[in-house]
Chains A and B, each alone.
Chain A
C-alpha cells in the first residue's frame, strides 16, 4: 500500500480536434483518504482532469499513476477503473439497468464477481447510501439525488478505494445536492475512501479538506479551504465566487475591523464576532 493514491507528473491533455490543450503541465499528488475539491469555471479543464484519473482519457504528455499503476499501461486499465469509481454529472445517463438492483450489479458483473456474492454486496452498498428501500424500483422514477446515490452504490459494490465525482451535484436541487455530498463525506470519513470532488459550488468546496483551483488548464491554487478562499482577488480574477462569509470578512477587514483571515462559514464568523463583542 502506498500513501500516494493519485500522482500526476507534468500531465498535459490535448483534445484531437482542438489547438489549445485542455490541461497544461499539471502535477500533484493526492494521498490516500484525502477529500479534495477541484474548482474551476466551465471549460477550465476540471472534467478532463476527472477522466484522466481512471484512464478514461490518457495523458498526451506526462504520466498519471493510480496506486502506482500507470493509466497508460493497458494491463492495469480495468484494475484502475475498479479502484477509482466515477460518478458523472447527468444522473439519467449513467444508469444502465431498468431496476435499481440490476444497476448496482452492473459493475460487479463486468469485473466478474461470483453471482453468489452479489446480493450481499448489493444490499451493503444500497444500505450505505440509504437506498435499500428502493431495491426493486425503476430508476427513472427516482429523484436526481436518489439516482446519484444509486450510481454511487453501483461503484461501492465494486469495492473501490477512490471516488471521482465529476460535478455529480450540478444537475440536482439543493436538497439532492446535500444528500449526495453528505453520503460521499460519510464514505470518506468512515471507510477512508479517497474522494476527488469536482464542482463549481463554493459551499461544497469549503467543506473539503483540500481545494485545488484549475483555470485555463493550469493548476492555479492548491491548499486548505482557508488558504484558498482567503485569496479573494485571485479567485475573482479566475471567475470564481468567493464564499459569502469569506466575502463579508474581506469587506469588514477592508473597513478596518480586526478579523483573522480564513473565515469561511457562518459558524466561524459568529465565533469571531462574539469574541470581539465581549
Chain B
C-alpha cells in the first residue's frame, strides 16, 4: 500500500502544460501571482477565471482534482470571509442584527480576499499538478543558478531536495517496519492521550533517526565513489530547452496581465 506513495500532487499525463519547461512554469506562476494582486475590482477576476479555465483544460487535469486542491484551505477561507464580512469599515450598512453589522465594504472585501486566495491556490497548484517533483527541483536549480555569483548554493539545494524525495519512501517503509517491530514487543501507538501517544513515538523515532544517519553516511560514500564532487563541471542528462510552446505560454500570461490592467483602468 505504501509502494505507490506519491509525493506532492503530481498528475501524470502528457499534455501541453506537462511538456512545458519547468522554468517556464515557475516563471508563469510568479507572473500569475503578481497579476492576481493587480486585480482591484471584482470584474478584474473575469479574465483570471477565463485564463484559469483555459489552462486547466490545456493541462487535462480533472476539475475534481482542482477542487480538491482548495479543500485544505476551507478553514482559512471561512475565517477570511467571515472576518472581512463583519469587520469592514464604511458608511453603507447592508444588514444589522444585535452586535453583527455587515457593511458594503466588508462584503466586497470578503469576496475579494476569498477569491484572491482561491485563485492563488488553484493557479499555483497547476504548477505542482503538471510538474513532477524532481523536474520541478531541476527547474528551480537552473532558475536560481545565476545567484551562485553571490555564493547562493543552488546546486547543493537542488541535490538535497532530490535526495530527500528519493529517501522519503525508503524512510516511510522503515518507519512502518520499526512500528511493527515495536508493536510486536508490546508498544502501543494508538491509545492514550496526546502526551502518552507522543511519548510512545520515542521508540519509533530514535531507531529511525539512527538509521537515517547511517544511510546518509553510506550514501555520501557511494556518491563520492561515483565521482560526485559538487556542481562544478557537472553535465546533466536532462537538458532543459525553451521551445515554441514555452513562448506561447509566456505570451498568454502577459496577455492576461495586460487585460487585467486594462479592465482596472476602465473601471
Q: Which of B133, B169, B221, B234 meets A140, CB within 8 Å?
A: B169
B162 at the A/B interface (Cβ < 8 Å)? yes
A261 at the A/B interface (Cβ < 8 Å)? no
Stretch in contact with the other chain, from A12-20, A94-102, A247-255: A94-102
Given contacts A92-B215, A140-B170, A140-B173, contact A56 B225 (CB under 8 A): yes
**Are the CB atoms of B235 and A114 closer together than 8 Å?**
yes
A230 at the A/B interface (Cβ < 8 Å)? no
Q: How far is the CA of A179 from the CA of B27 in the complex (A)?
A: 47
A118 at the A/B interface (Cβ < 8 Å)? yes
**Are the CB atoms of A108 and B237 closer together than 8 Å?**
yes
Given contacts A82-B227, A111-B227, A154-B226, contact A97 B166 (CB under 8 A): yes
Q: Which residues from B are CB-within-8-Å of A56?
A: 221, 224-225
**Are the CB atoms of A90 and B218 closer together than 8 Å?**
yes
Q: Which residues from A are CB-within-8-Å of B214?
A: 93
Q: Which of A88, A95, A105 meets B166, CB within 8 Å?
A: A95
Nearest CB in chain B: distance from A123 CB, A: 12
Nearest CB in chain A: distance from B242 CB, A: 16
Most buried by A among B162, B166, B229, B233: B166
Count contacts on A: residues with CB < 8 A to the other chain: 42
Nearest CB in chain B: distance from A106 CB, A: 6
Nearest CB in chain B: distance from A161 CB, A: 14
B73 at the A/B interface (Cβ < 8 Å)? no
Q: How far is the CA of A51 from the CA of B229 in the complex (A)?
A: 17
Considering the complex, which residues of chain B in the window 204-258 have a beta carbon less than 8 Å from any beta carbon of chain A? Answer: 214-215, 218-219, 221-229, 233-239
Interface residues on B, range: 20 to 34
B140 at the A/B interface (Cβ < 8 Å)? no
**Are the CB atoms of A110 and B169 closer together than 8 Å?**
no
**Are the CB atoms of A98 and B237 closer together than 8 Å?**
no
Given contacts A141-B3, A158-B227, contact A92 B170 (CB under 8 A): yes
Closest to B214 in A: A93
Q: Which of A106, A115, A140 meets B226, CB within 8 Å?
A: A106
Given contacts A92-B170, A92-B215, A140-B169, contact A112 B233 (CB under 8 A): yes
A198 at the A/B interface (Cβ < 8 Å)? no
A155 at the A/B interface (Cβ < 8 Å)? yes
B13 at the A/B interface (Cβ < 8 Å)? no
Nearest CB in chain A: distance from B34 CB, A: 32
B261 at the A/B interface (Cβ < 8 Å)? no
Q: How far is the CA of A115 from the CA of B240 in the complex (A)?
A: 11
**Are the CB atoms of A88 and B3 closer together than 8 Å?**
no
Q: Which of B163, B173, B225, B237 meets A54, CB within 8 Å?
A: B225
Nearest CB in chain A: distance from B32 CB, A: 27
B134 at the A/B interface (Cβ < 8 Å)? yes
**Are the CB atoms of A78 and B229 closer together than 8 Å?**
yes
B115 at the A/B interface (Cβ < 8 Å)? no
B120 at the A/B interface (Cβ < 8 Å)? no
Q: How far is the CA of A94 from the CA of B222 in the complex (A)?
A: 5
Q: How far is the CA of A18 from the CA of B170 in the complex (A)?
A: 32
Q: How far is the CA of A151 from the CA of B235 in the complex (A)?
A: 19
Closest to A50 in B: B225
**Are the CB atoms of A86 and B227 closer together than 8 Å?**
no
Nearest CB in chain B: distance from A97 CB, A: 6
A109 at the A/B interface (Cβ < 8 Å)? yes
B165 at the A/B interface (Cβ < 8 Å)? yes
A257 at the A/B interface (Cβ < 8 Å)? no
A177 at the A/B interface (Cβ < 8 Å)? no
Closest to A141 in B: B3
Q: Which residues from A are CB-within-8-Å of B236?
A: 109, 115
A107 at the A/B interface (Cβ < 8 Å)? yes
Most buried by B among A112, A122, A154, A158: A112
A113 at the A/B interface (Cβ < 8 Å)? yes
Q: Which residues from A are CB-within-8-Å of B224?
A: 56, 81
Q: How far is the CA of A85 from the CA of B237 in the complex (A)?
A: 20
Nearest CB in chain B: distance from A73 CB, A: 16
Q: How far is the CA of A216 from the CA of B238 in the complex (A)?
A: 47
18 CB < 8 A contacts A-B? A78-B227, A81-B227, A85-B225, A94-B219, A96-B163, A96-B166, A96-B226, A106-B226, A106-B228, A108-B237, A109-B235, A111-B227, A115-B239, A139-B166, A140-B166, A140-B169, A141-B3, A154-B226
Nearest 7 pairs of A and B residues by beta carbon: A94-B222, A93-B218, A105-B237, A107-B226, A110-B227, A86-B225, A140-B169
